[in-house]
Structure 1
Amino acid sequence: MSVDELQSSAFIGTANRGYGQQAQEEILRLFGSPIKFTHLVPNEIFLFQLPVSKSEVILKLTTQEPMFLRHIQPVDAEFDWDGELASLQSWAIRSVQLDAQSKVAVQVRKTEELTTGISQGEYKQALDHILTETYATVPVAKGSEFIVSLYLVPGIAYIGVSKPEHNLSDWSGGAIRYRKEEGQLSRAKFKLLEAEQVFGLDLTQYKTALDVGAAPGGWTSLLLERGIKVTAIDPAKLDKDLLKNKNLTFHQKNAADVKLQDASFELIVCDMSWSPRQMGKLIKGLLPALITGGTAIITVKLMHKKAFQTVRELVGDLSPDLTVQKAKQLFHNREELTLFFIKA
């Protein structure tokens, strides 16, 4: 009998540090109890076991994707493990079956408590080797057909095989990493890059954008790189090199004091360290400038960890003008999450 036919399953869930409890709450809301949670990294990574088949869990989590659950790894098998590479390879052969020439990405994670002296890279190389030798698979980093996930803790190894889209993220643990560019204004740019990927957007399809609270210009710089004509608003200064760009209009003042033409933007973005209710009121006042069917990408600061209440209030404040499409705590978010709206 295959794992997928069993009417119970286990997964390793990963959230941003400090938000594991919220991710577990979302899982409980989707499936109800009984669900057994076991902490692997406190309030960040956890094992969850439930009386639902693997395929059903994946279907529900991918079609009703939680905000705080960043990544899942199916646990198709687990075993008591002595920390040796050879025993791991032998166990993997017994636990994994793959078709020849399948493109396979091996992703290995381990807890800090695991002190074998062997790096994640060495574990990955060992598994790549044995899978290639045994099944003639093709090891790849990206563009895989299957992901073999391995999570190692002292004395126990967990392994699972899945399609990349079934893990919520095809990055190991959902940790999406971008290379910092020379002259990059801020790490905030990574948030918009990740939002573009997670929300399935193509920023090059937009011609005009409004960046609210733009300074020092991390999001504005990416929008300009995508060929968009950007209007940036902030009482603080933008980077001086950005001001040379002919596609940029900058208003160094409060957004409430700027007069904008109706239906003049296809995209509004906002990444402000401000009270969510105040920010929502500000965005609401700017919405006449967004075309019908236009997109809004907004970062909301999670006040006092009342995460669900904060999101619910903001969505309510912006309704019915904006309809939320997806809300996600991105890897590059901290005490915040990012929402994707469409103007009704």
Structure 2
Amino acid sequence: MSSESQTMSVTTWIGTSNTGYAPLAMEEVRRTIEGAAVRILAPAETFIIESPLDRVETLQKLQSQPPVFLRHIQPIDGTLLLSETNEADVLPWLAAEISRTEDQIRGKRISVHVRRAEGCSYPYSVFDTKTSLDGVLRDVGATIDQRSPETIISIYAVKDQLLYGIGTPDELMSDWPGGAIRFQREEEQISRAKFKLLEAERAFGLDYTQYREALDIGAAPGGWTSLLLERGVSVTAIDPGAMHPSLRNHPKLTYLKRNASEVKFKPNTFDLLVCDMSWSPMQMVKLVLDLHESLTYGATAIITIKLMHRKPLQTIRDVIAKLESVFIVHRAKQLFHNREEITLFMTKQY
């Protein structure tokens, strides 16, 4: 390919990570897309990606090597400099951008995502922006559907720029603005850790109601156990710490107030293992591997890996290399509800 044709095919994107993990996400992009240039757009979590590949090729690269830390991606199909635009002309510009995509969105379920970086000069609220665009979408024959969209119109305001792009939820890696999945906190919710397991279910295409017997290692106070019990799964929870009082008499719960390293189970007992412990990564790996015989062949495992060291990418590689002696590691991903950790989705080898 000539240098001229390479220049012509450059595409530009917004990448988003969890706060503080943008450098790792940017490094992932560089390694995945040869020749890509990346630079910070907004501090802590958002950056620009300039790919030497066209849209289709860029997405194929990212989908063939799913990133761990890149949470969300948005193509930049249009840019408006707010410092050079009258306030009254901003929303008409967005309306014109949407109208140009009529062939792409006619008859589709459409969601509009609006994000505003701190300190941006964009003059309109998220609500006002969406409201103003509703009529445009209807005029081009689209249906507004925030819950299950087929196509997403993404609008990102940062500093004095308004960046616009359009794509499917699969292309954008999420059907939530910026990949920031929000769950409603329940009155009697035991801990926010429950959100991690809920997000894992969505991210990895799981259905917890399909499991029969689960083993929850390091279960206390019971955030993950509570969700599995709600889905009808029988749970054996292990932890020297106390479980939440609301769980103690649950008919489907077996609670072992012990260290997981001290217990053994019959082979092929559990079809699901979950683990969300604040242990060093290699200690956690040893514990899971020591218990693998209690899992049925093909059993699912969802575990979090704490990133305690200065070289998280090497830690992840080392952990996966150890686990692959017993498990097929389908995905390593930093979920929105992860903090200093990532989540692994695995199945036990046959």
TM-score interval (norm. to shorter): over 0.9
Q: What is the CA-CA distance between 1:86 and the residue it aligns to?
A: 3.8
Contact kept? 2:9, 2:53, Cα under 8 Å: yes
Q: Given the alignment, which residue of 332, 336, 339 partners 1:327?
A: 332
| Range 213-222 or range 153-162, more displaced | 153-162
The answer to whether the 8 A contact 1:14-1:69 is kept is: yes
Q: What is the correspondence of 1:101-116 to structure 2 with a 5 Å cutoff?
A: 101-116=107-122
Question: 1:304 is matched with which residue: 293, 300, 309?
Answer: 309
Deviation digits for residues 112-138 of structure 1 (CA, Å, limit 9, x no counterpart): 1114553222222222333334x2322
| Aligned partner letter, 2:191 | S
> Is contact 2:122–2:160 with CA below 8 Å preserved after alignment?
no
What is the CA distance between 1:84 and its match in structure 2?
5.8
Pick which of 243-252 and 112-121 moved more.
112-121
The match for 1:140 is: 145
CA distance in 1, matches of 2:228, 2:62: 31
Aligned partner of 2:76 in structure 1 is: 75
For the pair 1:281 / 2:286, whether they are aligned, the reply is: yes
Distance 2:210 2:132 in 1: 43
Equivalents in 2 of 1:91, 1:54: separation in Å?
23
How many angstroms apart in 1 are the aligned matches of 2:19 and 2:122? 24
Structure 1 residue 231 displacement after superposition: 0.3
Per the normalisation by structure 1, the TM-score is: 0.94
Contact 2:214 2:235 in 1 (8 A): yes
Mapped contact 1:270–1:298 kept (Cα < 8 A): yes
Matched, 1:200 2:205: yes
Q: Post-superposition shift, 1:51? A: 1.3
2:102 maps to 98
The residue identity in structure 1 corresponding to 2:102 is L
Q: Deviations over 1:19-45 (max 9, x none)?
A: 101111111111122x22231222310
Q: Distance in 2 between matches of 1:173 and 1:116?
A: 18
1:103 deviates by 1.7
> What SS does structure 2 have at the residue aligned with 1:66?
coil
Cα distance in 2 between the residues matched to 1:19 and 1:69: 9
Partner of 2:90: 88
RMSD over aligned Cα atoms:
1.5
- 1:264-279 equivalences under 5 Å are 264-279=269-284
1:1-344 to structure 2, matched below 5 A, reads 7-33=9-35, 35-82=36-83, 86-96=88-98, 97-99=101-103, 100-116=106-122, 118-133=124-139, 135-344=140-349
Distance between the aligned counterparts of 1:287 and 1:46, measured in 2? 40
TM-score normalised to structure 2 length = 0.92
> Are 2:241 and 2:257, in contact at CA under 8 Å, matched by a contact in 1?
yes
Structure 1, unaligned stretches of length 5 or more?
Answer: 1-5
Distance 1:224 1:257 in 2: 24
Conserved in 1, the CA contact under 8 Å of 2:11 and 2:52? yes
SS at match of 1:253: coil
Deviations 1:266-306 (A, max 9, x none): 01000001101111111111111011111110000002342
Runs of 4+ aligned structure 1 residues displaced above 3 Å come to 82-86
Number of positions where the alignment pairs a residue of Structure 1 with one of Structure 2 = 337
Task: Tell me by how many angstroms 1:217 deviates.
Answer: 0.1
Determine if contact 1:85/1:126 at 8 Å carries over to the other structure: no
Q: Give the secondary structure class of the aligned counterpart of 2:19.
A: coil
Q: Is 1:232–1:250's contact at 8 Å kept on the other side of the alignment?
A: yes
What amino acid sits opposite 1:12 in the alignment? I
Structure 2 segments unaligned to the other structure (5+ residues):
1-7
Please say if residues 155 and 162 of structure 2, whose CA atoms lie closer than 8 Å, have aligned partners that are also in contact.
yes
Matched residues in 2 for 1:204 and 1:85: separation? 51
Q: CA deviation at 1:85?
A: 5.8
CA-to-partner distance for each residue in 1:148-175, whole Å, 9 max, x for gaps?
Answer: 1011123211111111211011110000
The amino acid across from 1:54 in the alignment is R
Q: Secondary structure at the match of 1:40?
A: strand
In structure 1, the residue matched to 2:3 is: none
Task: Please give the alpha-carbon distance, in whole angstroms, between the structure 2 residues aligned to 1:323 and 1:54.
Answer: 31
Label 1:305 to 1:104 Cα distance change in 2 as closer, same or farther (>3 A): farther
SS of 1:236's equivalent in the other structure is coil
Distance 2:338 2:164 in 1: 28
2:111 partner amino acid: A
User: Residues 203 and 226 of structure 1 are in contact (CA less than 8 Å); yes or no, is this contact kept in structure 2?
Assistant: yes
Q: 1:3 maps to what in 2?
A: none
